């Protein structure tokens, strides 16, 4: 699982525009990768994307390939630390890479309320279930998100053809060293 995580984070750092657009940032919006900085955050989010919109914000992308019953709390914690670090709104998005990563404890929302009252948390984050996305959507997206195509809504019989289309795009659109990293 660690290899998948590293591959996704490399692609996110190398192609932040593609990933930002993938989660809904308007094409052409200025984005740049910034270190999450700060040791407590480093384990939660290695890199984040700064979005230079009319109201600038930070995009925290979290690839997830396995079920984590503490994901909601982990994303709440990461969001809070990144908000403190960057001093602006943080849009957290978990990219679930496998059906096995989805479950009742990682729904895109963390809620809690004190038994004493007057203290409550209602944190929501975006969840993208890659296996539900049409393969055409990913194959026509930026080259940085092509890694998701084979695990999208595609039949096993068509995976080889999808990988060939990815290979063609990589050969045409990225330097050889980057292509090797993506594979």
For 42-67, write each residue's pLDDT tens digit: 444 567 999 998 999 999 999 988 89
Q: What is the pLDDT of residue 46?
A: 63
Q: What is the pLDDT of residue 9?
A: 79
pLDDT at position 169 over 70: yes
pLDDT tens per residue, range 10-25: 888 899 999 999 999 9
Q: What is the pLDDT of residue 4?
A: 65
Tell me how far CA of residue 82 lies from CA of 47, 152, 171, in angstroms.
10, 29, 36
Kind and range of the H or E element at 62? Answer: strand 57-64
pLDDT tens per residue, range 129-151: 999 999 999 999 999 999 999 99
Of the pLDDT bands very low, low, confident and very high (cuts 50, 70, 90), residue 1 is very low
């Amino acid at each position: 699982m660690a290899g998948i995580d590293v591959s996704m984070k490399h692609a996110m750092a190398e192609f932040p525009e593609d990933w930002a657009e993938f989660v809904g940032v308007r094409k052409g919006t200025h984005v740049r990768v910034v270190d999450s900085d700060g040791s407590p955050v480093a384990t939660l989010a290695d890199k984040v994307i700064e979005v230079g919109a009319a109201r600038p914000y930070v995009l925290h992308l979290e690839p997830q390939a396995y079920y984590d019953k503490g994901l909601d709390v982990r994303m709440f914690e990461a969001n809070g630390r990144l908000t403190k670090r960057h001093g602006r709104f943080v849009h957290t998005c978990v990219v679930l890479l496998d059906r096995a990563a989805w479950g009742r404890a990682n729904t895109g929302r963390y809620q809690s309320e004190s038994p004493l009252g007057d203290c409550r948390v209602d944190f929501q984050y975006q969840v993208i279930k890659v296996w539900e996305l049409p393969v055409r959507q990913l194959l026509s997206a930026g080259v940085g998100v092509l890694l998701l195509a084979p695990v999208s809504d595609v039949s096993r019989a068509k995976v080889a053809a999808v990988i060939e289309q990815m290979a063609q795009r990589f050969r045409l659109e990225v330097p050889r060293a980057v292509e090797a990293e993506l594979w």
